[in-house]
Structure 1
Amino acid sequence: MTVTPSRSSEVVSPDTCTHLTGHDHVASLTAALGSLTAQVEVLDRWGRLLADVLTGEGRGRLLAAGNGGSAAQAQHLTAELVGRYRADRPPFSAICLTAETSSLTAIANDYAADELFARQVEAHGRPGDVLVLLSTSGRSPNAVAAARRARDCGVTVLAMTGPGPNPLAAAADDAVCIDSEWTATVQECHLVALHLLCAAFDAAVLAESPRVFTTNHVEVVQ
């Protein structure tokens, strides 16, 4: 059906229409951001955890993965850590599992589809590392398989999903679930959540005179 433009704050459902008008889209996003606001403290905690892992003496790493638009957001996250988010700081090890096309195609050709990320997690993940998985449904089989494999390997799993409960949130150590039925809205909130995570990470890393372990020395960030 066609939804006529409206400035109402009412959020329409995919069950009653096939697309959102501009005003409907904004209303959907506004409502979903409310569920994200309630989870800001979770993202702050994730940022501190990442800082502990990536700056620690073991120099742990972040792995990230997702499908489709979530793959692009996973790559966005790793780029922010290898590069920088806002303030200048040392680079940190972060690998996007969706960006290695030769590994992806080899795994897809030789193994079951669920192994697409799980096999890479087993290859790259070390005990104490962190895996961030993004899924708008929270039901992507390859993401759920990766979460389970990661926990078997001693890797901490953080998930960003759509409405909970869902299988990925259940398989993860912790999850941020966006309360929206619209895929685009969930993805938009995931991008905000990623930026909040990066801000919390930077705040922890750039705290007064933190120690950042590099290969050869301990650097004090001013």
Structure 2
Amino acid sequence: MLETARFAAMMTRSADLKRRIGNELADTVVQVVDVCETSLRGGGKLMFCGNGGSAADSQHLATEMLIRLRPKTERQSIAALALTLDAAALTGCGNDYGYDRVFERPLRGLGRRGDVLFGITTSGRSVNVIRALEAARDMEISTIGLLGGTGEPASSQCDLALVVPDTETARVQECHIALGHAVLELLEDRLIARPYR
């Protein structure tokens, strides 16, 4: 009985958080979609970075754009990549420059002015994500945060921040993927309605 009650509490907390961010972050989500659309129509790309589960979310979201988001929706491939994909680059950078630079270093080689970087950190404190966001701003790359807790200090390096107001990693991650899917679905609708290339 105790486990069933705990399970129900987990689902309720997750649903309550999603309802809250649905009310509080709607305008910011639309602004994020605007930034992404402008970038793609200008020849830019979407990039994602994060650690652990957020690395998996980075790969998940990039793949939704590069390959397919919705199975019944046909459209062209959309330029997106996860800075977490290359094990040789990650380990090489970690070995040669330190783990704090594992996203910054490839971003400086692959990123271009007008691109968009999504920095994903459930605590808002991941140093390597913050360094990538700082580098992106130096390079005139738009910075979007998928963050948790208060969002700080990462939030200060973001042009737009989608902050899930909770500190439990699992609940924040559940909201991050919901937010990511919402942004990409709205973006995909726009790109299908008015193809960009």
**Shorter-chain TM-score tier:** over 0.9
Question: How far 1:6 sits from its partner (Å)?
Answer: 7.6
Unaligned runs of 5+ in 2: none
Alignment RMSD: 1.6
The question of 1:177 aligning with 2:166 is answered: no
Which structure has the larger Rg?
Answer: 1
Percent identity, please: 30
Give the alignment of 1:1-222 within 5 angstroms.
Answer: 4=2, 21-37=6-22, 38-56=24-42, 59-86=43-70, 87-207=73-193, 210-213=194-197
Question: TM-score, normalised on structure 1?
Answer: 0.82
Count, aligned residues: 194
Amino acid at match of 2:163: C
Structure with the largest fraction of helix: 2
Paired with 1:126 and 1:169, the residues of 2 have a C-alpha distance of 21
Amino acid at match of 1:36: I
Give 3-state SS (helix, strand or coil) of 1:206's partner. helix
Give 3-state SS (helix, strand or coil) of 1:131's partner. strand
Paired with 1:33 and 1:212, the residues of 2 have a C-alpha distance of 31
Give 3-state SS (helix, strand or coil) of 1:34's partner. helix
Amino acid at match of 1:185: R
Amino acid at match of 1:135: T
Question: How far 1:92 sits from its partner (Å)?
Answer: 1.6
